[in-house]
């Protein structure tokens, strides 16, 4: 191990752990499709979605703003307060191109 350069260790780790595989993508999309639980905080849900979309972007699978907002809206569809917030969001931005995840 003393003869292994840091660059070689990095290359090995990146190859082994730094590339998303099919099961990683399946898990990411499964998490994006999961409804908000009654005990889950809204900010935690939003951060989770941001992180998952960031992972996808890092893997070259950038989500559209439509998909980002749709995943979040779908996660909130069984949560009364979340559903109300999504209705306000849709009324505030009736044109789909104006609906972005950063709003």
Give the model's pLDDT for residue 40.
95
Residues making up the chain, counted from first to last = 103
pLDDT at 2 over 80: no
pLDDT, tens digit (0-9, with 9 covering 90-100), for 21-69: 899 999 999 999 999 999 999 999 999 999 999 999 988 999 999 999 9
Q: Please give the distance of CA 30 from its chain centroid, rounded to a whole number.
A: 10
Supply the mean pLDDT for the chain: 91
pTM of the model: 0.79
The structure tokens listed for 4 are: 């292994």
């Amino acid at each position: 191990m003393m003869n292994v350069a840091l660059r070689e260790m990095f290359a090995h780790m990146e190859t082994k752990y730094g590339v998303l595989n099919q099961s990683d993508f399946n898990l990411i999309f499964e998490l994006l499709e999961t409804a908000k639980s009654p005990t889950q905080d809204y900010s935690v849900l939003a951060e989770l979605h941001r992180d998952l979309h960031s992972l996808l972007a890092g893997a070259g699978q950038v989500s559209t703003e439509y998909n980002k907002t749709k995943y979040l809206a779908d996660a909130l569809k069984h949560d009364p307060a979340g559903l109300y917030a999504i209705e306000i969001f849709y009324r505030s931005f009736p044109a789909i191109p104006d609906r972005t995840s950063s709003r």
